[in-house]
A and B are shown apart, each in its own frame.
Chain A
């Protein structure tokens, strides 16, 4: 008996990847030049190249995704193709986890080793004595050895509200997923819209927190290792929330257009996975950056 196999769809030639490569080239050169020119406080073409690169990238994303969505709606994708997409997304999220690991690693190293050692811990009594004898190792590090001062960000106010918001959004998104699987489109739309709204509110509040940090606390990107880790961790998380919100919004528009079915909804699934991942990162942030 010969088993029948669904054909795996191998796309024809496509110009989108090379457009994407040019976009990344422009973004890399543009960012590089922009950073260099900002540091030297001189104008230059850097920002324009960067903006052009982002524009080309957006053009590529629209074109490529339109292509893929058309193919998907045209029924070209088999169950095996669906698995490829799912596995690809899962590994992409794993790579994102490792990216955050680098910054969490920096935070843990600074808290466990670098700062106590500067304060004379372990066998580093002379380090403290010779370099900065008056330095005291405490976390959060509000007075750096170099003499910068700042105030700590508490966890009770906005951060706690934001935690509740993101946790709620994960629940609403889960409800949306259940609705999708049972074909309840109205509930799906409501729950997804709610999730997107919660994501947007989170971002606004996070912006407010940054203003508070800069204006009231004097907590800035360059106020020592505490400020460094605080802003890079929450900043990269915020960028990921932004991306996740955009992904969910695109999926929402597709749902309004009547895309997806009970069984086939990879794009929804991918955006949902991404959202839950971003949520987990926030929980780690809340515990290790704010509370502890």
Chain B
């Protein structure tokens, strides 16, 4: 398919700490993003375990309610902005230039800047937990007036931490778009792009479109809280519901920002281990674009119970249900790709199949939540928690794991310990369902989310959920062990690690040389 590019070692990989601090290399920056995301995943996970420990039994055991609220808030913020988004940006950094035959990202220095803002931003966020008054405790959605009238003094730190996270995301997204539009090797036309590249192109567009709106929302929270404005206060002619409109105009595209790259990863892995071409490539591209478009006109389905004219409720119900069409196209295409393929069950494939089944389950509960009258019952219950953890944990996180197991040999040049990796998969698969599946039941029965205590009839399910939670959390340590061992050494792998794999990234050596494609490869 392609000619292998000579890798010119005109400057070698620098060594020591300077390599990482000053780097302009997309692979180094990708590694940094991925390791940072892993660290944040474990940090946010530890907070989830605090939550699950408290909820193991009814009554208050371990933490104060105010601290419990800080845990739910910061867990959400860290997992969204610190774990899932940087992990996908890390995959983008590593893979996109190699997949399109580019020498590096289009703007390599800005790439480094985008990354190094993140550790500082999360340092600020975590630091506020230890300050007098505590960290943010209003939920990751920081609804007014919780974040304005009733928040603690340290809210300004939260606001500015979100601001610089946003700057980081926007610069990262600009880099991705410009790289894909401007740096493709000759012959790499748009409809030949690997699907991971396509999904990231659209994700980056969403990021640039909505991160500034989030910046606007936190700015209004800041001025409402500290400078006497009344954006979200009816006494001054504003409206607390307006906060939710602005926030969810960002927030709904944001959830697709976290799942579209996942679709890309799965669309890459399924054909490899089915040894067939992806079924319906073009329809996958159009489906991704449709989902992105729809994401802008569905935001108020998060606010069916907070006050909206009837016409609004109907519009947002129908537009939301429309999303299941392009999403269904994708799921059917994955299944059709596997249909009559010669499937083998390597670790990335295991995670991908689990993704298809469990993400679809999360999609179905989403469809239930989309129905306005039904949502009146489900709103703010554990059913919602179950829904978005199915799409984000068994969806986004499982796809990141699949991607990591798929490309880890390319990154390190070594095969990982397959037994340990399979153990990681099976333990995760079982425990994650013990963790999140019963949440559907307690939610339907009326257990509200974001509370440190609950009525006695939910006790058995909550104990079970907590056991699943700790099992899932501890299973992730296996992943850390697999990655560590793989980076240290292991069985050497050839350039094309998986025999069914296609794409430019498999034409270069494993581990991928520090600089790839200084001369663009020819794509036929």
Residues of A within 8 A of B (CB): 3, 5, 7-8, 10-18, 20-22, 24-25, 27-29, 31-33, 35-36, 38-40, 64, 80, 83-85, 87-88, 91-92, 94-96, 98-99, 101-103, 105-106, 109-110, 113-115, 117-118, 122-123, 131, 141, 144-146, 148, 221-222, 224-228, 232
Partner of A222 from B11, B121, B160, B230 at Cβ < 8 Å: B230
In the complex, residue of chain A having the shortest beta-carbon distance to the beta carbon of B519:
A5
Tell whether, in the assembled complex, residue A13 and residue B186 are in contact, meaning their CB atoms are under 8 Å apart: no
Tell which of A5, A24, A110 touches B237, judged by Cβ atoms closer than 8 Å.
Answer: A110
Give every chain B residue within 8 A of A10 (Cβ-Cβ).
Answer: 24, 103-104, 108, 515, 518
Pick from B21, B174, B226, B234 the residue with the most CB of A within 10 Å: B234
**How distant is the Cα of A33 from the Cα of B131 in the complex, in angstroms?**
12
15 further A-B contacts with Cβ under 8 Å, apart from A84-B178, A96-B212, A102-B217, are A8-B103, A8-B183, A10-B104, A10-B108, A17-B110, A29-B124, A31-B160, A36-B157, A39-B156, A80-B183, A88-B174, A99-B212, A106-B246, A221-B227, A228-B236
B211 CB–A CB distance under 8 Å? yes
Contact A20 B212 (CB under 8 A): no
Give A102 to B157 CA distance when docked, in angstroms: 21
Which chain A positions have C-beta within 8 A of B309?
122-123
Contacts of B239 in A (CB 8 A): 109-110, 113-114, 117
Q: Is B365 part of the binding interface, using a Cβ–Cβ cutoff of 8 Å? A: no
> Quick one: which of A28, A103, A106, A115 contacts B163, CB cutoff 8 A?
A28
Q: Does B257 contact A (CB under 8 A)?
A: no
Judge whether B167 is part of the interface by a CB distance below 8 angstroms: yes
Q: Give min CB distance, B249 to chain A, whole Å.
A: 7
CB contacts (< 8 Å) of B173 on chain A: these are 91
Judge whether B226 and A35 touch: CB under 8 Å. yes
Contacts of A118 in B (CB 8 A): 234, 237
Is B18 an interface residue, CB under 8 A from the partner? yes
**CB-based nearest B residue for A3:** B186
Closest chain A CB from B175 CB (angstroms): 8
A141 to B120 alpha-carbon distance, docked (Å): 41
A88: B residues at CB distance < 8 A: 106-107, 110, 174-175, 178
Task: Tell me if A28 and B216 are in contact (CB < 8 A).
Answer: no
Contact B237 A31 (CB under 8 A): no
Closest Cβ of chain B to A39, distance in Å, is 5
Cα A195 to Cα B183 in complex, Å, equals 35
Residues in A with CB closer than 8 Å to B212 are 95-96, 98-99, 101-102
B237 to chain A, nearest CB (A): 4
The reply to whether B519 and A146 form a contact with Cβ atoms under 8 Å apart is no
Residues of B within 8 A of A40 (CB): 153
Question: Is A98 within 8 A of B213, CB to CB?
Answer: yes
Contacts of B211 in A (CB 8 A): 95, 98
Complex contact B229–A232 (CB within 8 A): yes
Q: Which residues of B contact A8 (CB under 8 A)?
A: 102-104, 183
B308-352 at interface with A (beta carbon < 8 Å): 309
**Of B109, B159, B175, B520, which one neighbours A16 at CB under 8 angstroms?**
B109
B104 neighbours in A (Cβ, 8 Å): 8, 10
Minimum C-beta distance from A268 to chain B (A):
19
Determine which residue in B104, B117, B217, B225 has the highest number of CB atoms from chain A within 10 A of its CB, and name it.
B117
Query: Closest residue of chain A to B250, judged by CB?
Result: A102
Name the residue on B nearest A122 (C-beta).
B309
Report which of A21, A31, A84 forms a contact with B116, defined as CB distance below 8 A: A21
The distance in angstroms between the C-alpha atoms of A12 and B19, with both chains bound, is 11
In chain B, residues 125-162, which have Cβ atoms closer than 8 Å to a Cβ of chain A? 153-154, 156-157, 159-161
B400 at the interface (CB under 8 A from A): no
A27, A224, A225 — which one has the most chain B CB atoms within 10 A of its CB?
A225
Given contacts A99-B216, A146-B236, A228-B223, contact A29 B170 (CB under 8 A): no
- Check if B153 sits within 8 Å of A101, measured CB to CB: no
Residues of A within 8 A of B107 (CB): 84-85, 88
| CB of B93 within 8 Å of the partner chain | no
Q: Which of A17, A29, A110 contacts B157 (CB 8 A)?
A: A29
5 A/B residue pairs, CB under 8 Å, sorted by A:
A13-B18, A18-B116, A31-B160, A84-B107, A99-B215
Task: Note all chain A residues with C-beta closer than 8 A to B209.
Answer: 94-95, 98
Interface string of B90-116 (1 = CB under 8 A from A): 000000000000111011111011001
Judge whether B234 and A95 touch: CB under 8 Å. Answer: no
* Most central of B14, B18, B110, B178 by chain A CB within 10 Å: B178
Q: Cβ of A92: which chain B residues have Cβ within 8 Å of it?
A: 170, 174
Instruction: Check B236–A148 contact: CB distance below 8 A.
Output: yes
Asked whether A221 and B160 contact (CB < 8 A) given A87-B182, A109-B242, the answer is no
Q: How far is the CA of A26 from the CA of B441 in the complex (A)?
A: 47
Produce 1/0 per residue, B204-224, CB < 8 A to A.
000011111101110110110
- Given A32-B157, A35-B222, A110-B238, CB of A24 within 8 Å of CB of B120: yes
The answer for the CA separation of A109 and B243 in the assembled complex, in Å, is 10
Is B245 interfacial (CB 8 A cutoff)? yes
Given A36-B156, A221-B223, the answer on whether A28 and B213 have CB atoms closer than 8 Å is no
- Which residues of the other chain, B, contact A16 by a CB distance below 8 angstroms? 109, 113
Closest CB pairs A-B (n = 4): A102-B216, A222-B228, A146-B235, A21-B116
Q: Are B160 and A225 in contact (CB under 8 A)?
A: no
Beta-carbon contact of B242 and A28 below 8 Å = no
Q: Is B81 an interface residue (CB 8 A)?
A: no
Q: Which residues of B contact A146 (CB under 8 A)?
A: 230, 235-236
Taking the closest CB of chain B, its distance from the CB of A114, in whole angstroms, is 4
- Give complex CA distance A36, B227 in Å: 11
Complex alpha-carbon distance, A33 and B128, angstroms: 11
B22 contacts the other chain (CB 8 A) = yes
* CA of A11 to CA of B110, assembled, Å: 11
Contacts of B112 in A (CB 8 A): 14, 17-18
Partner of B22, one of A14, A94, A95: A14
Establish whether residues A98 and B208, one from each chain, have CB atoms under 8 Å apart when the complex forms: yes
> Are B116 and A17 in touch, CB under 8 angstroms?
yes
B289 CB within 8 Å of chain A: no
Q: If A36-B156, A84-B182, A106-B242 touch, does A25 touch B236 (CB 8 Å cutoff)?
A: no
Neighbour of B113 across the interface among A13, A20, A117, A123, CB < 8 A: A20
Give the distance in Å from the alpha carbon of A44 to the alpha carbon of B171 in the complex: 32
Is the Cβ of A226 less than 8 Å from the Cβ of B174?
no
Q: How far is the CA of A64 from the CA of B112 in the complex (A)?
A: 13
Q: Are A101 and B213 in contact (CB under 8 A)?
A: yes
Q: Which of B108, B120, B182 contacts A21 (CB 8 A)?
A: B120
